[in-house]
């Protein structure tokens, strides 16, 4: 399967941006006090246990790392689209929550679309082969 250099570049840009977004968000959820998260507009912390908030943060950090490290190292690069699918699942679950409390879901949709693009691109259009 031959793919263009442009799709590879677009996928790497998407992987980098999505990884940064999820890693930063996850680190904040892992390290910040619950009150600080609520004060910064993360209203979901009022509806979930601290353990769940930390679990979400860990999942986001690991997913963000999974978008980059396997493809960059060429060790098990199939983990990159799997990480993207995992993060897409996180966004779907986040949308369910935000809809249930009447909050906007546009940011979740944007992140979901980027994650789906990465999953599709790295599985079907421009896969990275292992060493």
Distance CA 99, CA 46 (A): 16
Q: Write down the residue that tokens 């793919």 correspond to.
A: 3
Please answer whether residues 126 and 80 qualify as being in contact, where contact means their C-beta atoms are separated by less than 8 angstroms: no
Distance CA 35, CA 13 (A): 34
Between the CA of residue 74 and those of 13, 64, 80, 124, what are the distances in Å? 17, 16, 10, 17
Distance CA 52, CA 44 (A): 10
Whether pTM exceeds 0.85: yes
Predicted pLDDT of residue 131: 86
Distance CA 68, CA 73 (A): 8
Per-residue pLDDT of the chain (131 residues; tens, 9 = 90+): 566 899 999 999 999 999 999 999 999 999 999 999 999 989 899 999 999 999 999 999 999 999 999 999 999 999 999 999 999 999 999 999 999 999 999 999 999 999 999 999 999 999 999 98
Please answer whether residues 126 and 8 qualify as being in contact, where contact means their C-beta atoms are separated by less than 8 angstroms: yes
Predicted pLDDT of residue 1: 54
What does the DSSP assignment read for 17-82? HHHHHHHHHHHHHHHS-HHHHHHTT-GGGGTS-HHHHHHHHHHHHHHHHHHHHHHHHTSSTTHHHH
């Amino acid at each position: 399967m031959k793919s263009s250099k442009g799709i590879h570049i677009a996928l790497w840009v998407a992987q980098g941006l999505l990884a940064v977004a999820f890693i930063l968000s996850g680190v904040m959820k892992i390290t910040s006090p619950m009150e600080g998260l609520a004060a910064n507009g993360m209203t979901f912390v009022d509806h979930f246990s601290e353990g769940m908030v930390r679990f979400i943060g860990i999942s986001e950090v690991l997913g963000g790392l999974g978008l980059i490290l396997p493809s960059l190292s060429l060790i098990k690069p199939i983990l990159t689209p799997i990480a993207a699918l995992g993060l897409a699942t996180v966004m779907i679950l986040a949308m369910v929550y935000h809809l249930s409390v009447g909050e906007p879901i546009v940011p979740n949709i944007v992140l979901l679309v980027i994650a789906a693009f990465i999953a599709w691109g790295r599985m079907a259009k421009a896969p990275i082969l292992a060493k």
